[in-house]
């Protein structure tokens, strides 16, 4: 990665703590940047495994250990951020400790690659996370030795990379649409650039679809009856074979992004499998159609003025599938921008957020003051699903959902964030006329407890328009009578005279000009010229006395 003039003047570390993988990018004062390699790869699995002695193994060590005792394994600590405590084997661990263990491995690899240098740390998080989740993430970073980490919204980091690293033109008043398709989740965001910096104007997504769903579709398509003992293992050898099978399927999927066919061998069975790109696209199409539909509906909801879209940016490892860009181009009419390593975008972009004029107004007290989101705008109608109910709290509004392409999806155990911050305001552009504020919806009277569901990123169908109950208004004071004398209205006769005079002038002025021009220079009186003009016109039209 080349240096650029917007780079920081100190050592910097950008960390993207993801659902399935964590990525870190180191940046030197001269602008050089490269990813932190963990076990030879820039992708560190966000998995955690509890050893018998109570220590936590992370990354690939955790994945390998999980083959022996899956009960001690947590593959996605980010999904458990609202659970407080997680049972691994026979011991409970705080979620903040699980996240801290992953970030501590990042800090360890930083010191191994760069040396005993304390960097400026930026840590990314979803734009929909509220103060509780962001504070917990910052606390985990502090426990991992990354004190003072500055939190940046993931779409803002991606838009910063789009403008600063790729050098794309993003003038003030334009927006970047970030299509973040990762291994376990999908998010679509509309990020606007104004005089204050980048700002998330609208966001929607799904936390139950990702690249892993494409892998599962491939396995289901290729499986035979002989695969049953691998997919439902009972021995250590079968568990190892299952892990190897899923790895080989993922590698084959990635190869099909560059080639037309890929082969792999099914472990234990020693049978060869042939997979083509056409088969992959057919299997992935149902999942990809959902992401495209959400992105399109989100752009329609944002109601962008003509020419304000600076670009569509593909982020996340699963966006490497060529069909993703094809479907987006077909639906949006805008060719998306794709790069070779989309997993590194958010981590490196977060470092340069200041150089890209990131908005730094406080969104919440404490260590998350760097993250600013829009907090008021268009109110959402009555909630028809529990998944959006917790977003209707005093001082917050829920994003008008785009579409529900998968209404029967499994909710899982993702719990709602009671302090979620969701950007809901319509994009405001410099020079645009002021938008009148809409009346606020009355507070909900239903205070019944809600069951835990995926509240942040799973979209729902737009609710029907409901008539709000009447609100009582205080009696307004009567204005004092004006001392000015009322002006008399003009009568209809006066208006009639004005109209007739205007018509008369419009007819006579051209006629007089025509007569004067006709008799110019013949020294005849005006009346004679008029008679001659009438006679000539009659001869021309064939009218005789």
391-411 confidence digits (pLDDT tens): 232 333 333 333 333 334 444
**Which residues of the chain fall below pLDDT 70?**
1-9, 354-491, 520-523, 543-545
pTM, rounded to two decimals? 0.64
User: Do residues 27 and 119 both lie within one domain?
Assistant: yes
| DSSP 8-state secondary structure symbol assigned to residue 139 | H
Tell whether 437 and 314 lie within a shared domain: yes
pLDDT of residue 521: 65
- Looking at the fold, whether 178 and 129 belong to one and the same domain comes out as no
In this structure, are 34 and 52 located in the same domain? yes
> Which single residue is written with the structure tokens 């606007």?
192
Question: Do the domain assignments include residue 321?
Answer: yes
Tokens of 404: 């529900």
Task: Determine, yes or no, domain membership for 478.
Answer: no
Residue 502, CB-side half-sphere exposure with 13 Å CA sphere: 6
Report the number of distinct structural domains present in the chain: 3
Q: Is residue 351 part of a domain?
A: yes
Model pLDDT, residue 294: 92
- Please tell me whether residues 244 and 101 are part of one structural domain: no
Residues 253 and 397 in one domain: yes
The tokens of 63 are what? 């994945």
Single out the residue in 466, 484, 500 at which a domain terminates.
466
CB 290 within 8 A of CB 206: yes
Q: Is there a domain that residue 471 lies in?
A: no
- How many CB atoms are located within 10 Å of the residue 11 CB? 17
Q: Are residues 200 and 294 in the same domain?
A: yes
Residues 403 and 462 in one domain: yes
Q: How far apart are CA 328 and CA 50, in angstroms?
A: 42
331 and 364 within one domain: no
Q: Are 391 and 420 in contact (CB under 8 A)?
A: yes
**CA separation for the pair 198, 19 (Å, rounded):** 24
322, burial (CB in 10 Å: exposed 0-12, middle 13-18, buried 19+): middle
Partners of 314 in beta bridges: 179
Do residues 204 and 312 both lie within one domain?
A: yes
Inside any domain, residue 391: yes
Looking at the structure, do residues 226 and 102 belong to the same domain, yes or no?
no
Q: Give me the pLDDT at residue 210, please.
A: 87
* Domain coverage including residue 435: 167-338+374-466
- Say if 477 falls within a structural domain: no
Q: Are residues 251 and 311 in the same domain?
A: yes
Would 210 be classed as within a structural domain?
Answer: yes
* pLDDT recorded at residue 442: 42
From the list 259, 180, 275, the residue with the least C-alpha distance to 219 is 275
CA–CA distance, 96 with 78 (Å, rounded to integer):
10
Give the C-alpha distances (Å, rounded to integers) separating 364 from 202, 471, 529: 19, 31, 88
Please state, as a whole number, how many other Cβ atoms lie within 10 Å of the Cβ of residue 441: 15
For position 383, what pLDDT does the model report?
A: 28
Question: Would 479 be classed as within a structural domain?
Answer: no
Q: Which of 466, 501, 532 is the last residue of a domain?
A: 466
- Residue 28 has which token pair? 């030197």
C-alpha span between 162 and 167 (Å, rounded): 7
CATH number at residue 387: 3.30.420.40
Task: Give me the DSSP letters along 222-278.
Answer: H--GGGHHHHS--SHHHHHHHHHHHHHHHHHHHHTTTSSEEEEEETTTTEEEEEEHH
Sign of CA dihedral 62, 66, 72, 75: positive
Tell how strand 186-194 and strand 197-206 pair up.
Answer: antiparallel
């Amino acid at each position: 990665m080349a240096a650029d003039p917007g780079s920081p003047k100190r050592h910097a570390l950008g960390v993207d703590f993801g659902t399935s993988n964590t990525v870190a990018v180191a940046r030197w004062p001269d602008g050089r940047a490269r990813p932190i390699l963990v076990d030879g790869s820039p992708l560190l699995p966000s998995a955690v495994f509890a050893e018998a002695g109570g220590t936590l193994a992370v990354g690939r060590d955790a994945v390998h250990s999980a083959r022996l005792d899956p009960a001690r394994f947590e593959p996605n600590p980010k999904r458990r951020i609202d659970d407080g405590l997680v049972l691994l084997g026979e011991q409970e661990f705080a979620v903040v400790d699980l996240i801290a263990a992953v970030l501590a491995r990042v800090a360890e690899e930083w010191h191994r690659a760069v040396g005993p240098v304390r960097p400026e740390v930026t840590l990314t998080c979803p734009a929909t996370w509220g103060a509780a989740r962001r504070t917990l993430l910052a606390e985990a970073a502090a426990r991992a030795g990354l004190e003072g980490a500055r939190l940046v919204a993931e779409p803002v980091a991606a838009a910063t990379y789009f403008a600063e690293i790729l050098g794309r033109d993003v003038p003030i008043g334009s927006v970047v649409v970030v299509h973040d398709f990762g291994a376990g989740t999908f998010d679509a965001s509309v990020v606007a650039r104004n005089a204050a910096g980048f700002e998330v104007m609208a966001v929607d997504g799904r936390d139950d679809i990702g690249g892993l769903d494409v892998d599962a579709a491939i396995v289901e398509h290729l499986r035979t009856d002989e695969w049953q003992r691998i997919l439902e293992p009972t021995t250590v050898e079968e568990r190892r074979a299952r892990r190897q099978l899923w790895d080989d399927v993922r590698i084959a999927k990635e190869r099909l992004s560059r080639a037309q066919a890929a082969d792999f061998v099914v472990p234990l069975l020693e049978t060869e499998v042939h997979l083509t790109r056409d088969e992959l696209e057919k299997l992935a199409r149902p999942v990809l159609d959902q992401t495209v539909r959400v992105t399109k509906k989100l752009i329609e909801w944002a109601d962008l003025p003509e020419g304000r879209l600076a670009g569509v940016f593909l982020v996340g490892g699963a966006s490497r599938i060529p069909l993703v860009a094809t479907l987006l181009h077909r639906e949006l009419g805008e060719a998306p921008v794709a790069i070779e390593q989309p997993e590194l975008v958010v981590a490196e972009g977060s470092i340069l957020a200041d150089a890209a004029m990131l908005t730094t107004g406080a969104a919440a007290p404490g260590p998350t003051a760097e993250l600013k989101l829009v907090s008021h705008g268009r109110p959402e109608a009555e909630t028809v699903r529990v998944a959006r109910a917790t977003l209707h709290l005093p001082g917050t509004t829920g994003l008008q959902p785009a579409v529900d392409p998968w209404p029967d999806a499994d909710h899982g155990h993702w719990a709602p964030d009671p302090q979620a911050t969701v950007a809901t305001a319509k994009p405001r552009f410099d020079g645009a006329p002021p938008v009148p504020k809409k009346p606020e919806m009355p507070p909900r009277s239903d205070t019944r407890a809600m069951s835990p569901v995926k509240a942040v990123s799973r979209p729902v169908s737009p609710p029907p328009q409901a008539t709000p109950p009447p609100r009582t208004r205080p009696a307004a004071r009567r204005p004092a009578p004006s001392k000015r004398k009322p002006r008399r209205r003009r009568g209809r006769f006066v208006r009639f005279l004005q109209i007739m005079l205007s018509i008369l002038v419009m007819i006579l002025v051209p006629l007089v000009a025509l007569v004067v021009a006709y008799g110019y220079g013949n020294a005849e009186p005006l009346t004679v010229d008029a008679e001659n003009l009438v006679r000539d016109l009659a001869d021309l039209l064939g009218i005789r006395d």
